[in-house]
Structure 1
Amino acid sequence: MDAELFYVLVGAISVAAFARWRGWPAPLLVTVVALAASFLPFVPELEIDGHLLLNLVLPPLLYSAALDVSFVGFKRSLPQIRRLGIWLVLITALVVGLVAWLIFPSLTLPGALLLGAIVAPPDAVSAAAIGRKLGLPRRVMTVLSGESMINDATSLTLYRVFAAIVAGATLSVWDGVWQFVVAVVLGVAVGLVFGALLHQLRVRLSDPVVIGTFGLLVPFGAYAIAEHLGGSGVLAVVAMGLYVGYNAPRTDYTTRQQETPLWLSADFLLESFVFAYIGLQLPRVISDLGRESVGEILLLAGVVLVVVLLVRPAYIYPAHAWAVWMQHARLRRWEKAVASGEWERRERRDDERRERFAAKHPERAVRRPRRRPTPDEIRARLTEPALTWKDNAVISWAGMRGVVTLATALAAADLAELDAEASHAIVVVAFVVTVGTLLLQGLTLPVLIRGLGVASDVDEAQDAAELAAVRARTRKAGAEFLDRKRTEWAGAHGERDLSIFDAFAKRMTKVEKETDRAQEAEDAAARPTYEDLVALSRGWLQVRREILLEERDAGNLDEELMRELITAMDAEELALDTRGATRPQSRA
């Protein structure tokens, strides 16, 4: 088994590398090649327990995805993400379950609902890869990525509920709702605790190798502990990744530079294996087709595939129209309250209530003054990022299924309460839906994106405006920093060495090249050293980083754009360290 797994990994990585070289969607090519290779007699048939596969693959993939997601964008798009990640999964599970029960009554209603929960969650790995390559707008990518991180939690919770019913447990609707609430609360709480601990470790340790190793291990721990406590391991890993990713700019630059290629390699390895594993399951699926029910099972698989494809757009467009109507209603109510003075009276009542609380409990009162939100900030809270009908068309067609669907189907097949025919039907349907959506939607999604002309032109214009504004702020902050340092420099090294400072400052601000150093001070003890210049450069970089964080926190700078700018600053700091390491030590 070890040798077989190694051969599969090498083959999958080779095919994925070829796809990347040619600019093709790697998940699709790996799946197609694995499907074709599964017929070859020397290609091994991998059999991995579904629960084990989820525990090994989900935590690192979810954590890596959460690290890259903009927390600010995720928060703003949360209503859209919640509609897709919770309600769409629930509706898909119910519709598929009812249709499967009517077509294949031997599944029983609980078993059919279990099948619905299995095929409900899309996997956005291939959709995200296609979207990034074709330049999908950031608002669409945020929704797709956020959905893929939440819908797995919803699906796995539904899976646990329906599996318990299949096993004979008596659960009401409220029992299922309570299980979901507990899973969400415990999962997010565990994830935030792990995220805070990992962040403190990243801040306090300066060894990027150790921090990177802990980063690889901690997602598994958060997932396992959350599941053990009855929470959602998926949400634990997502919450931890969002927390760590949001605070990543506050850590040492070496940690970020070590982390990025590490997770890119891990994602490449795991995704290649996952899609190869999906394709290699074809022989097992064929063997599960009993002669007496092959037609009925194939009919069920085809119908469920069609239902899965149709339910998504049939839900997205009405749900989006309802959300737009509701946000307009909220805005009208707020504007009416402002016009009548009711909003101002509410604000005053809140201020008076806080003052009474502060007078009664001075030890618990908040010391900082309360800042009232501006009208624009209130409008932003009452609305969500606008999606056009073209954006919703892309989101509707980006519903490819992946490893969660296949792994949970393999785990469900081992339930003792399901008869052999029902177990085989679940595995076959899950495989057909997974491969069918991957190939059908994955191959046509680029055509749809190009045909509709959905591109990131708006993002580019907004990025240019934000860049101009943040550069103006950083130039001003940098000039103030250099003014302060110039005074300190004159006191430490004397007026004669200000020429060195001025030349170095001009080089950092790219006003002019470094000037001739022939006018160095004769007093070697007071002469500025190389370390002084490095410290000045680090301070300059730190001031610019702080401005970027302030702009990000204020909502004036997109988080992905901020990360690109910080990556450029990290490269500058790496150059400082590299020059310091290679500089001759014999010179004063």
Structure 2
Amino acid sequence: MSPILGLQLLLVAGGAIAVAAVARRKGWPAPLLLVAAGLLASPLVPAVPLDPELVLYVFLPPLLYSAALDSSYLRLRDARRAVGLLSIGLVLFTAAVVGFVVHLLLPGLPLPLAFALGAIIAPPDAVAAVAVGRRLGLPRRTLTLLIGESLFNDATALTAYRVAIGAFLGGTVELLHSVGAFVLAAAGGVAIGLGLALVFAWLFTLTRDSLVENTLTLLIPFAAYLAAESVHASGVIAVVIVGLHLGSRMHLRGFGTRLVSDAVWKVTAFFLETIVFALIGLQLVTVIRGISGYGPWEVAGYAAAVLAATILTRFVWVFAASFLLKVVRRGGPQAPGRQQSVLLGWAGMRGVVSLAAAFAIPPEVPPRERAMLLFLTFTTVIGTLLIQGTTFPALIRRLGVSSEQERYEDRLAEAAAQQAALEAGLAELDRLVAEQGHEPDEIQKQVIDQLREKSWRRSLTAWERLGGGTGPGGSETPSALYRRLRRAMLQAERQVFVRLRDERRLDDEVLREVMAQLDFEEAILER
């Protein structure tokens, strides 16, 4: 990579983080603001190329792994039929419909290239939809379907894309052979993912060093992706399987590993997502220059038709799949309701994987056709992000969808679990005291009383949250009072430590240690 390109990427990263910081401060969806900022900046800055290998081999694996770690294997398993219909069936349906529409619009475009475009723009990127949905309290099941779809649909789309490009370059491709190649790629991804998951899980049993474990986790998504792709299996599925397996076993790791891991992957995902969405908008000038041979109204019509076909296809499939699940499951938990189907249908924002695949179209494709495919991909990605993305919050509010009942049930379940855990902990404390064989002395009694008080306080806090954190008549609960006063005390203690450091009466290393202790206590208070 040249120094100039490195400087460009550094400036893009810095600008993207600044825009994302503004979005977070204002409560706006950061992906949409980043795309808009990229579009506005594109004519004013030198072209920043979107390298397909950079996206597929550097950005995609950690983003997939982070999403998989944060997902629930049990919820995905419960919704496996709906997720399969979205991540496999919908992708193939979209590729076919959009391919035929493009072939009708551009009869001179070979049919395999038309299907390749359909495969390119078929997989939605749920980052923007999930970010908005979580902020506005979208029900957990809807979020599970969106996340599950985004975890697996890239594998289907990239496989279909390779088949279509192969048909263009090498002539005819048998349907049975294509299906077999897809099944083998998926099965290979699952096998490699499970194998690596077991290997890494075993490695984690050999160390209890949180720094070493979390450094190792940074290598896992790249190792899984490269291992699978090197044998023509699905790297996407391999990464997702490893992430789901290790994420479901995170409770077996040490508390330090869990605390650091959460911070590491939040920062990693935030950093990569900001750059990715900014790069999408910055491709405006590059894409437009390639279609200079077409009339503006002509290409605008093509773009509008492909965008409309993409959006309508998703609605048709979602409602058809919902009806099918209701028939098969007789209205069981697998079948989305009408409101959920509307939200799923409108949550079809495309992302950087589509653009990366378009930029990766081989040079054997004539430049004119390649430029048109890239333009239609870009306009579909931008159109779905700006049209569906900006209206998605209003749609959630309009439908009156809320996860308030789920949040109440979660708080109730947590309070009951805290009560059961409290009783188990106190029983273990009583057993350990009884094993001493003699009455505890005064100091031991104080320690035991402190342990009992801390356990009861944690359980009491869980029950208090059922009432919204307020006491009778809106008064401050004991737990809230304790947290407020203790936070003030911690701040006063920090000031003393810093003052002693400034007076050269305390070393910086000691300061960092005591500040870490206070920070952990405040993190517990925040929880």
Query: TM-score, with normalisation over the residues of structure 1?
Result: 0.75
Q: Is contact 2:322–2:335 with CA below 8 Å preserved after alignment?
A: no
Instruction: Give the direction of change, closer, same or farther, for the CA distance of 1:471–1:513 in structure 2 (3 Å limit).
Output: closer
Tell me, yes or no, if the aligned pair for 1:51 and 1:408 is still in contact at 8 Å. no
Question: Where does 1:421-432 land on structure 2 (aligned, <5 Å)?
Answer: 421-432=368-379
1:116-135 matches, cutoff 5 A: 116-135=118-137
Look up the match of 2:343.
Answer: 394
Alignment equivalent of 1:461, drawn from 405, 408, 412: 408
What amino acid does structure 2 have at the position aligned with 1:199? A
Pick one of 376, 390, 399 that aligns with 1:443.
Answer: 390
Bigger shift: 112-121 or 282-291? Answer: 282-291
Alpha-carbon shift at residue 475 of structure 1 (Å): 2.5
Determine the structure 2 residue equivalent to 1:378.
none
The within-5 A match list for 1:23-172 is 23-40=27-44, 43-172=45-174
Match of 2:524 in 1: none
Return the letter of the residue paired with 1:508: L
Show the counterpart of 1:510.
453
State how far apart, in whole Å, the 1-side matches of 2:161 and 2:86 are: 17
Distance 1:48 1:405 in 2: 11
User: Percent of aligned positions with the same letter in both sequences?
Assistant: 40
Shift of 1:386: 5.3
The higher radius of gyration belongs to: 1
Counterpart among 165, 174, 195 of residue 197 in structure 2:
195
Consecutive unaligned residues in structure 1, runs of 5 or more: 330-382, 515-539, 542-573, 583-588
Distance in 1, Cα, partners of 2:250 & 2:210? 13
Matched residue type, 2:35: T
CA 506–92 in structure 1, closer or farther in 2 if over 3 Å, else same: same
- Between Structure 1 and Structure 2, how many residues are aligned? 463
CA contact (8 A) 1:203 1:252 kept: no
Give the superposition deviation at 1:453. 1.1
Change (3 A) 1:420 1:242: same
Q: How does 1:195-344 map to 2 (within 5 A)?
A: 195-292=197-294, 295-328=297-330
Whether contact under 8 Å (1:182, 1:231) holds in the other structure is yes
Q: Indicate the SS of the match to 1:107.
A: coil
How far has the Cα of 1:197 moved from its partner?
Answer: 2.1
CA drift of 1:158 comes to 0.5
Q: Does 1:14 align with 2:11?
A: no
Q: CA deviation at 1:169?
A: 4.5
Shift of 1:67: 0.4
Question: CA contact under 8 A between 1:38 and 1:282: conserved in structure 2?
Answer: yes
Give the Å deviation of 1:181.
Answer: 0.8
Distance 1:447 1:182, change over 3 A: same
| Superposed displacement of residue 48, structure 1 | 3.5
Runs (5+) with no aligned partner, structure 2:
460-512, 522-527
Cα deviation code 1:330-357 (max 9, x no counterpart): xxxxxxxxxxxxxxxxxxxxxxxxxxxx
1:89 is displaced (CA, Å) by 0.5
Q: Distance in 2 between matches of 1:461 and 1:263?
A: 28
What corresponds to 2:184 in structure 1? 182
Q: Secondary structure at the match of 2:249?
A: helix
Q: In 1, distance between residues paired with 2:366 and 2:335?
A: 48
Aligned equivalents of 1:165 and 1:78: distance in 2? 31
Q: Partners of 2:47 and 2:454 in 1: how far apart?
A: 64
1:376-415 mapped onto 2 (5 Å cutoff): 383-385=332-334, 387-412=336-361, 414-415=362-363
Deviation per CA, 1:256-314, whole angstroms, max 9, x where unpaired?
11111111111111111111111110011110113246544332221110011111111
CA deviation map 1:23-77 (0-9, x unaligned): 111111111011001111xx12112431332111110000000000011111111
Any conservation in 2 of the 1:106–1:422 contact (CA below 8 Å)? no
Check conservation: 2:50, 2:279, Cα contact below 8 A: no
What is the distance in 2 between the residues matched to 1:442 and 1:19? Answer: 14
Aligned to 1:495: 439
Q: 1:496 to 1:63 in 2, by over 3 A?
A: closer
Q: Distance in 2 between matches of 1:21 and 1:439?
A: 20
What's the CA shift string for 1:360-417, capped at 9, x where partnerless? xxxxxxxxxxxxxxxxxxxxxxx435532112211111100000110000001x341x
Task: Decide whether the 8 Å contact of 1:191 with 1:236 is kept in 2.
Answer: yes
User: How far is 1:456 from its partner?
Assistant: 0.4
TM-superposed CA distance for 1:485, in Å, is 0.9
Residue of structure 2 aligned with 1:452, choices 394, 399, 410? 399
Alpha-carbon contact 1:506-1:513 (below 8 Å) kept: no
- CA RMSD between the two structures: 2.4
TM-score (ref. length: structure 2): 0.84
Distance 1:22 1:513, change over 3 A: closer
